[in-house]
Structure formats: C-alpha cells, structure tokens
Structure 1
Amino acid sequence: MGYAKTAILMAAMTALFLGVGALLGGRGGMMIALVIAVGMNAFSYWNSDKAVLRMHNARQVDERTAPEYYRLVAGLAANAGMPMPRVFIIDTDQPNAFATGRNPENAAVAATTGLLQRLTREELAGVMAHELAHVKNHDTLIMTITATFAGAISMLANFAMFFGNRDRPGGIFGTLALMILAPLAAALVQMAISRSREYEADRMGAEICGHPLWLAGALQKIEAFALRIDNPAAERNPATAHMFIINPLHAFAHDKLFSTHPKTANRVAALQAMAAGMPVATRPSVPRVPPTKPRGPWG
C-alpha cells in the first residue's frame, strides 16, 4: 500500500508539473526550468550525503571507536541482507537519527549522542532498522525525484510573471494565483510522499529488527525529548528536517499541514497492530558481533 500511494502521489506531482507548463502556453520556459531543476537536483543527489553530514557535523565511527553502536548496525544490515553502511555520530543532545546516500552501496546512517545515551539497546535497534529500511527502499532516490519536480514547478511559477500568456482567463490575477498556488500544491504533494515513506520505513524497519514495539517505544521517547531539546544544526538547516526519524524542529513553530512526518501516535498504533499479528517464534534477533577491543559502547 505504501508503494502504491507513493506512485499515485508522484503521478500527481508529474501531472501538476505538466499542467503548470500547459498554463504557461509554451514549452520554452517549461524546458528551461526543467533542465535547471534536474541539474540542481542531480548535483544534490550525488553530493547530498556529504553535504548533509557536514551540516550536522557528523563524525564517522567504526568498530574500534564505537563498538556497540557499530556492531548493532552491522547486525541489522545482516538481517536486512544489505551492504554495511558508513556509520556516523552527531554530537547533539536531542535524540534523533537519519539515513542518507543515493543507494544501499553508498549509504550512511547517523545517530545523535542524545539517541545513543537515552535509548535502550532494543529501542536503538528499532531506530537504526528504520533508517536502514529507508536505504533499502531507495527513499533518497524517491525524494530526489520529487524535489526535482517541486523545484521545476516553483521555477515555472516564477517564470509565469515574465513568460506567461497575459491574455488567458484571469490575466495578471491568474498569473499571481499560479505563482502562489502551484509551488504550494507541489510542496503539499512532496510532503505527502515523505509521510508515506515514513510509514513504509516503520513497517520494514520493524521486520528487520523483528520487534515492532522496540521502534514504537523509541518513537514515543524521541518525540518527548525532541519537543523540549533543541537541535541547533537542524534549526539552522530546516530543509533537512524530513530526513530525521522524528521532526527535529519544534512542533509549535511549524504548521501541521506542512509536516513531513506522520503523527507519532498513528505510527505507534500501526506498529502495535503489526506486533499483535507477528508470531514471536518468527521474529529475528539482532546478531551480536564478538567485540575486538572496546573503547566504550558508543564512542
């Protein structure tokens, strides 16, 4: 169902793009805007992981510097049948995590020090399994495509003032409405796709770790802390908020209509229903890799 909803929403984004181009009455401005938007987002796609990790001052760790955390991710990746991603820690007190990278072979997962300190091993497993699910589902690619269309739609709307057909119904007022409403509609569709991918990552993450309630408990705990603990890097870079497992920005400052995350209560309810229907005997465990020379559990 998650994939079907995503496909429908992406079709709506495509239709919106074509509709705005048609309203402008020509292909010239549409093609210019599309080429620029694709170029910008292609560059972002190939370099977004490095840029985002730099924005949040993430430091890469390994089995020597963060043995328990690293081995936990390794065990989950093995459960998921995925390549081992690069592993990062972000030095901030707000518990949170995200994944980045253009595909499973070039992926990275990052957890904050607040997450590593405040969650149990089981809850942490649920969170990192969710992030690995994003990687396995190629959600970075999906969001890059939608960002391409959203950017192109915004550019087309801006071009409307200069290249639009003023003789069409509505005249200047129709042009102004197009400039305002088209990017708004694109943003709403983009955020709906992001929310859909969160539900799918919750489902697959619960399968990877084998215990949906681990993730459910983690989501509740992270939201409670995130509402009262700042994440300064995220506040400086709000465009990265959709990447985190829970919105790192304070909820009171942002309209729920434009939220990139579903309500935590709804996510928890879905995970609880999933747990009720999952036989205990079929649940995998997170493999424990024998330690080498530990230097503290989290680095």
Structure 2
Amino acid sequence: MTANTLRTFILLAALTGLFMAVGYLIGGTGGALIALVIAGGMNLFAYWNADKMVLRMHGAREITPDERNPALLQFASDTIGMADRAGLPYPRVYVIESDQPNAFATGRNPNNAAVAATTGLLATLNRQEVMGVMAHELAHVRHRDTLTMTVTATLAGAIGFLANFALFFGGGRDRGGFIGALALAILAPLAAGLVQMAISRAREYDADKGGAEICGDPLWLASALEKIERGARQTVNVAAERNPATAHMFIINPLNGQGADNLFSTHPATANRIARLRQLAGAAAHSPAGPWNAQGPWGDDDASNGGNRPDFGGPWG
C-alpha cells in the first residue's frame, strides 16, 4: 500500500467516524448506525458523482471542440497536449466565470478526470504560467489525488450540515444535552476541516513537484503562484464562499490567505511553495544532466521570440 493510498484510507475513516459521532449525538447508538449507513452511501455516491457536483457548484462550463472563443479553444488544446505529454488520458477541460485567478482538478480516476480554470486565471497569467498551473492539476490526476479531494469536499460539507442539525435537534440528557450538541456542532466540522487540511498540504507540495516535471520548468508554476496568490487575496470567489468545503481542491485557497503553514490552512504557504520550486530549478541547473529547459519543452514564450506563441502540442490547435 502506497503512502498516498494510506492517507486516503485514514482520511475517509476519520471523516466517517466524525459522521457517526454526530449521528450518535442525534440518535444514540441507532443514530450512529444510521450515520454509518448514510456515510457508506455517500462515499459510493461521491465516487460516481462528486466531480459533477463540484463542477456544478462552481458553474463550470466544458470547453468542447466547437467552442467559438479562440482563446478558450487554445487553452483547452494546450491542456490536452500537456496531458498527452504527461502520458495521461485526455481530461475534460472546463472554464469557470470568476474574476479570481484559480484552478482545480476533479474526477474519480485519470480516465474520468476534469480540470477547470477560472476566466480570471486565463486573463491574469501568460500562456506558460497557465500551463504550469495545468501541469500542477494534471499531477494531481496522475497521483490519483482527485478522488480523495472531491470525496472529502462532499463528506466535510455533510458533516458540517449534520453538526448544525445536531445543535438544534439532537442531544438528549444521556448524551450531554444542549452543551454536548453545541460542542459537537463546533468541533465536528472543525475536526473534519483539520483532517482535510493536513492531507491537502502534503498533496499540494507533491503536485507542485510533479507539475514542474510535466511542464518542464518549475519557474512557470512559481511565477503563476505569485500572481494567483495576489489575485486571490484581492478578489472574492463567490461560489467558493458559498461552498467552503471545496476550498482545498483549488491550487490556491480561494477563501483567505495564510502567512505560514499552520493547522488551519488548507494549503501550504504560497511563499514556501514558490521557494521549493525555485530550489528545484536551481538544483537541476547544477546537476550533471543539465538545467531545466527554461522555456519548457515547446520553445520560447511571447516576450523572448518576437511575439510568436509556443506550441503546446494540443490536438485542437
């Protein structure tokens, strides 16, 4: 069993246990058993449908070959070409109407993966930076993080809802009464969040490294993270604020910024991620194999070749 698989089992077991705890507060032993059955059903439902739910929550629209917007068509083509370079099946590519620059990946496995970027990201980043972000999301797909991240969003949101239900309708005297209900209503969603946050941070570092390998240059992603962090702190993502349980899926926390890694952050500190990527680029530059291709595997960017845009190898271009 890989470390990633072990983390997934721990995560789902912890969230299921929290779900049962809230069920016990509401209905005792019978409530806990009912919660266990519901959690099992939710896990099964989430396996097949959570990706569709998350995409719908954020108003994502799939980009198809008959797309009339040339910029979106090129973005989808570049992303699919990047997936081909990574040895992955072609993902579905979505765009989200939001001024906040951000992106995420979802899907139960690489054969059913989807990647989504906001219009704010496409407007803020240059083409190489966008591909650095897409490479990061494709690394999540390759590492099979997307199922866990999507199911976590579903279960964490359900635990918060059930805990609030317990506050108003649960808590007989034999189970702590109103004080117990109040405590669990506060602690259950907090504990669920801590579980998802701790695992999310490790996955983000791994995806940053994997994304650098896929796109060919860690500095593409490092530059993108700087711009996304700045833009995310200045722009409200309305859909993410309505669905905070999905925050850990985004490349940068869409809800608020954190100055350092800590227990209450869904993501590593962006400065730490950028520093690691720059260290990765510097280490490769001094290795016997030679430096990273500073312009990636598809040639120079717009500024360095007289305005000619790089060909990212997509099948639609």
| Shorter-chain TM band | 0.7 to 0.9
Match of 1:36 among 30, 38, 45: 38
TM-score between the two structures when normalised by the length of structure 2: 0.74
* Post-superposition offset of 1:28: 3.9
Gaps of 5+ in 2: 299-310
Contact 2:100 2:118 in 1 (8 A): yes
Work out whether 1:10 is the aligned partner of 2:11.
Answer: yes
* Post-superposition offset of 1:229: 2.0
Amino acid at match of 1:259: S
* Post-superposition offset of 1:88: 1.3
Amino acid at match of 2:40: V
User: 1:39-93 CA distances to partner (integer Å, 9 max, x unpaired)?
Assistant: 2343233222222222322222235533421221122101211000011112222
User: 1:7-38 CA distances to partner (integer Å, 9 max, x unpaired)?
Assistant: 696398279659959x98x8643322111122
Q: How does 1:1-299 map to 2 (within 5 A)?
A: 3=4, 6=7, 10=11, 13=14, 28-63=30-65, 65=67, 66-144=72-150, 146=152, 166=174, 177=183, 180-251=186-257, 257-278=263-284, 279=287, 280=290, 285-286=297-298, 288-289=312-313
Is the alpha carbon distance of 1:176 and 1:138 closer, same or farther for their aligned partners in structure 2, counting shifts above 3 Å? same
SS of residue in 1 equivalent to 2:174: coil
Is the alpha carbon distance of 1:6 and 1:275 closer, same or farther for their aligned partners in structure 2, counting shifts above 3 Å? farther
CA–CA separation in structure 1 for the residues paired with 2:214 and 2:254: 24
Is the alpha carbon distance of 1:37 and 1:164 closer, same or farther for their aligned partners in structure 2, counting shifts above 3 Å? farther
CA–CA separation in structure 2 for the residues paired with 1:71 and 1:89: 13
* Post-superposition offset of 1:164: 7.7
* Post-superposition offset of 1:222: 0.6
* Post-superposition offset of 1:262: 1.5
SS of residue in 1 equivalent to 2:93: strand
Is the alpha carbon distance of 1:165 and 1:20 closer, same or farther for their aligned partners in structure 2, counting shifts above 3 Å? farther
CA–CA separation in structure 2 for the residues paired with 1:34 and 1:266: 39
Is the alpha carbon distance of 1:176 and 1:58 closer, same or farther for their aligned partners in structure 2, counting shifts above 3 Å? closer
SS of residue in 1 equivalent to 2:234: coil
User: 1:101-137 CA distances to partner (integer Å, 9 max, x unpaired)?
Assistant: 1111111111112211221121111100111111222
Query: Identity over aligned residues, as a percent?
Result: 55
Is the alpha carbon distance of 1:224 and 1:176 closer, same or farther for their aligned partners in structure 2, counting shifts above 3 Å? closer
CA–CA separation in structure 2 for the residues paired with 1:242 and 1:81: 26
TM-score between the two structures when normalised by the length of structure 1: 0.78
CA–CA separation in structure 1 for the residues paired with 2:42 and 2:13: 22
Count of aligned residue pairs for this structure pair: 288
* Post-superposition offset of 1:208: 1.0
Is the alpha carbon distance of 1:9 and 1:258 closer, same or farther for their aligned partners in structure 2, counting shifts above 3 Å? farther
Contact 1:9 1:189 in 2 (8 A): no
CA RMSD after TM alignment:
3.8
Name the structure, 1 or 2, with higher relative contact order (CA <8 Å, separation 6+).
Answer: 1
Amino acid at match of 1:206: A
Gaps of 5+ in 1: 295-299
CA–CA separation in structure 2 for the residues paired with 1:141 and 1:268: 26
